[in-house]
Amino acid sequence: MSKCLASRVAIAACVAVAAAGCTQRDPRAISELTPALEPVVHGNNEFAVKLYKAAAATPGNLFFSPFSVSAAFGMTYAGAASSTAQEMRDVLSIQADDAAYHQEFGALIADLGGAHEGRGYELRIANRLFGQKDFAFQKPFLDVTSTDYGAPLERLDFTDPEAARTHVNQWTSDQTEGKIPELFGAGDIDAQTQLVLANAIYFHADWKLQFDPANTQDSSFFLANGETEQVPMMFQDGKFRVNAVDAYSTLEMNYADDELSMVLVIPAESHTLPEVESNLTADALQGMIDGAREEEVSVGLPRFKLDARLPLKDLLEGMGMKNAFDSEAADFSGIADTSAGNLFLQTAVHQAYVQVDEEGTEAAAATGVGVGLTSAPPSLYADHPFVFLIRDRLTNSILFAGRIEDPKDLAF
């Protein structure tokens, strides 16, 4: 089938994180990692590390939301078939059967993003389908995306692609508190687009133990090439969960309510960040977190703000998700009857924003996929290239991942 006959679908995922404080709260429905949820979380985290390592092959600072990408592509996977579905399953590290995967992932999304009154942090998650107004979608696909992912179908007219793009981008901006104002650029959505699948996440939290701004001072950050940069470094002494092996140490810093945290992966002096990254796995990382113990430590962390964009289509194709982006090989017959033209993913992009300061963390990310058709405590200073994660401590879900190689241009 020629590309000119192929219909297209676009998929978007957005994430925002910021700092806030609340009072008495309602408990979450999911308070621990259940046996039914475990394969979904484990698979998502495996995908998070795989995507991180693929993106980390290009030098430079990095930030993205693997959870957002998983959610957007999880909905897309609901409409995939044959070898297209198998490739997506392999790349996304889906370990449960399809029904359980969608149901449990959907339950996790609903719980994380639920309206929990009085939480010490804010975490909202929204899903949405934007479909061509006269396009016929398969009911089972709409049932899964609506029931499991809470993604209603909104009809648009993609024959006016600029108006449709503006509408989807406005939804993205609204869901991320304006942090991702334009997910889809000019040309990402066109008259052949039949569907946009969108995921948006907004997270707002203070540190449990905030840094005193009076202790922030310009300090040296040691680059991989041996040079140094002066950056605003935040310092505090406190009790944090830490763990150390020969190659690196982990430091977990909780946000308010102790349900979410940032985990820093800091290479030892005798090891480089690429060495640590090459040996990083979801299981090794979880083992380090599980083995951490609370200690009185002196912490140093750069204050930084970062905008980042991933070439998601290239990364996923390189990881093995090839058929989905091929107008002739793609099989998304679960989304719609393709007798009039094949559906394929025309693009996949991811945009993210993060700000880390004395009060807490503010971040945003968006994914777009187009388918066609002692006297002194020991110290842990992040004063050289390091990895950082934001995770849900109750289920071990990795929500965000990134690294800082050179914070020179990230200071504020």
Nearest to 332 by CA among 313, 319, 314, 345: 345
Question: Can you list the residues of the chain whose pLDDT is less than 50?
Answer: 1-6, 19-23, 374-376
119-154, pLDDT tens digit by residue?
888 888 888 899 999 899 999 999 999 999 999 999
Q: Dihedrals φ, ψ of 291, to 5°?
A: -85, 0
- Beta-bridge partner residues of 131: 155, 195
Strands 217-222 and 62-64: unpaired
Residue 383 shares a structural domain with residue 368:
no
CA dihedral over 383, 386, 392, 394, signed as positive or negative: negative
Of how many residues is the chain composed?
412
The DSSP symbol for 134 reads T
Place of tokens 């090439």: 225
Within a domain: 19: yes
Q: What is the CATH number of the domain that holds 379?
A: 2.30.39.10
Residue 282 shares a structural domain with residue 339:
no
How buried is 99 (Cβ within 10 angstroms: 0-12 exposed, 13-18 middle, 19+ buried)?
A: exposed
Measured between alpha carbons, how far is 210 from 162 in angstroms, rounded to an integer? 44
Measured between alpha carbons, how far is 127 from 26 in angstroms, rounded to an integer? 23
pLDDT of residue 5: 36
Tell me which residue range forms the domain holding 279.
Answer: 213-302+375-407
Taking the model in full, what pTM does it have? 0.92
Strands (E), 95-227: 121-132, 153-156, 193-206, 217-222
Residue 166 shares a structural domain with residue 88:
yes
Residue 177 shares a structural domain with residue 46:
yes
Strands (E), 245-385: 248-254, 260-267, 293-302, 304-310, 343-356, 360-372, 379-381
CB atoms within 10 A of CB 167: 17
pLDDT of residue 23: 44
Q: What is the CATH number of the domain that holds 366?
A: 3.30.497.10
Residue 292 shares a structural domain with residue 170:
no
Residue 25 shares a structural domain with residue 121:
yes
Within a domain: 343: yes
Residue 254 shares a structural domain with residue 346:
no
Measured between alpha carbons, how far is 399 from 406 in angstroms, rounded to an integer? 23
Number of domains in the chain: 2
Nearest to 376 by CA among 214, 237, 233: 237
Instruction: Say if residues 138 and 336 touch (Cβ distance below 8 Å).
Output: yes
Residue 207 is which amino acid?
W
pLDDT of residue 4: 33
Measured between alpha carbons, how far is 11 from 32 in angstroms, rounded to an integer? 30
Instruction: Say if residues 370 and 8 touch (Cβ distance below 8 Å).
Output: yes
Residue 16 is which amino acid?
A
Residue 158 shares a structural domain with residue 290:
no
Residue 139 shares a structural domain with residue 185:
yes
Within a domain: 135: yes
Phi-psi category of 108—alpha, beta or left, where left has phi over 0 and alpha has psi -120 to 50? alpha
8-55, pLDDT tens digit by residue?
666 666 655 554 444 455 778 899 999 999 999 999 999 999 999 999
Q: Dihedrals φ, ψ of 197, to 5°?
A: -105, 125
Residue 27 shares a structural domain with residue 142:
yes
Residue 390 shares a structural domain with residue 241:
yes
Within a domain: 412: no
CB proximity list for 141: less than 8 A, separation 6 or greater: 78, 79, 334, 335, 336
Within a domain: 354: yes
Within a domain: 97: yes
Residue 55 shares a structural domain with residue 78:
yes
Percent of residues in the chain assigned helix, strand, coil, to nearest 5: 30, 35, 35
Phi-psi category of 358—alpha, beta or left, where left has phi over 0 and alpha has psi -120 to 50? alpha
pLDDT of residue 377: 57
275, containing H or E segment: helix 273-278
Within a domain: 359: yes
Instruction: Say if residues 68 and 366 touch (Cβ distance below 8 Å).
Output: yes
Would you state the structure tokens that stand for residue 392, as one six-digit string?
């849900």
